Amino acid sequence: MMMLRMTRMSAGRVLTALAMFAILSVSALADAAPSPAPKAPVFSAAGVDGKAVSSRQLAGKAYIVNFFASWCPPCRQEIPDMVALQKTYRAKGFTFVGVAVAPGQNENSVKSFMKSSGINYPVIYDGNNQLVDLFRQYDTERNLKAIPTSFVVDRSGRIILVISGARSKADFEKMIVDALKPVKAVK
């Protein structure tokens, strides 16, 4: 009987200690300031249409940098949705920026693919992997070794999301709406 009382008492103390630990942990997490999203890399390149595409031109806009290849089935699957969303959100300060990666394609094949797919946003052919190398550090899960991979950049120029794999129109639309939200000042 005495042992039963001590067990109940010990269990009560353990539960109290666990509850206190949980409260202190949650309160410490709430006090910790979230680290700001990283700034998108500075870049400048010629689009396959010959026009310059740069982070400087995109300053103040929301954009998604989408690394793809014309021979990639998941990439091909998401492009019609991206084209439709570009039409809807261009006037609201958003654009996609396509980055065609080198293996299995060249600038002429990318131009042909753009035309046949109706791509209505800037596309850069990254034959020397300069943009891959610039963005790779922000893809902490896959190191930009999978396509499609997209980097969502908000109006303040910060990367708010990195995703690998094809996404639906609804998924992209949610990302665009989030990226277009007014940016809160960082203290």
Gyration radius of the chain over CA positions? 23
Predicted confidence at residue 185, as pLDDT, reads 60
The answer, yes or no, to whether residue 181 has pLDDT greater than 50, is yes
**For position 141, what pLDDT does the model report?**
82
74, 165 in Cβ contact below 8 A? Answer: yes
- In whole angstroms, what is the distance from residue 18 CA to residue 24 CA? 10
Give the model confidence (pLDDT) of 72-121 as tens digits. 999 999 999 999 999 999 999 999 999 999 888 999 999 999 999 999 99
For the chain, percent of residues with pLDDT exceeding 90: 72
pLDDT at 20 (0 to 100): 40
Residue whose C-alpha is closest to residue 163's, from 181, 128, 182, 138: 138
* Record: fold of 44-180: Glutaredoxin (3.40.30)
Q: Report the alpha-carbon distance of residue 18 to residue 37 in Å, rounded.
A: 33
Q: Is the pLDDT of residue 55 over 90?
A: yes
Kindly list the domain boundaries of the chain, sorted by start residue.
1-32, 44-180
Predicted confidence at residue 32, as pLDDT, reads: 46
What's the confidence (pLDDT) of residue 26? 39
Buried b (16+ CB within 10 A) or exposed e, 117-150: bebebbbbbbeeeebbebbbebbeeeebeebbbb
Taking residues 162-166, report their average pLDDT. Answer: 95
User: Stretch 45-63: mean pLDDT, rounded?
Assistant: 96
User: Where residue 10 falls among pLDDT bands split at 50, 70, 90?
Assistant: low
Task: Give the pLDDT band (50/70/90) at residue 17.
Answer: very low
| pLDDT: which is higher, 142 or 79 | 79
Which tens digit of pLDDT belongs to each residue from 26-49?
344 344 445 678 999 999 999 999
Mean pLDDT of 134-148: 89
Q: What is the amino acid identity at position 82?
A: M
- DSSP symbol at 158: B
Give CA separation, 153 vs 19, 37, 165, in Å.
40, 10, 17
Judged by average pLDDT, the poorest of 17-21, 42-46, 82-86, 158-162 is 17-21
CA distances from 46 to 54, 72, 96, 100, 114 (A): 8, 23, 15, 12, 15
Q: How far is CA 183 from CA 60, 86, 151, 186, in A?
A: 10, 21, 17, 9
What tokens appear for 22 in the block? 């949980």
Q: Left if phi > 0, otherwise alpha if psi is -120 to 50, otherwise beta: which for 143?
A: left
Residue whose tokens read 């980097």 = 151
Q: What are phi and psi of 135, to 5 degrees?
A: -90, -20
What pLDDT score was predicted for residue 16?
42
Query: What pLDDT is recorded for position 104?
Result: 86
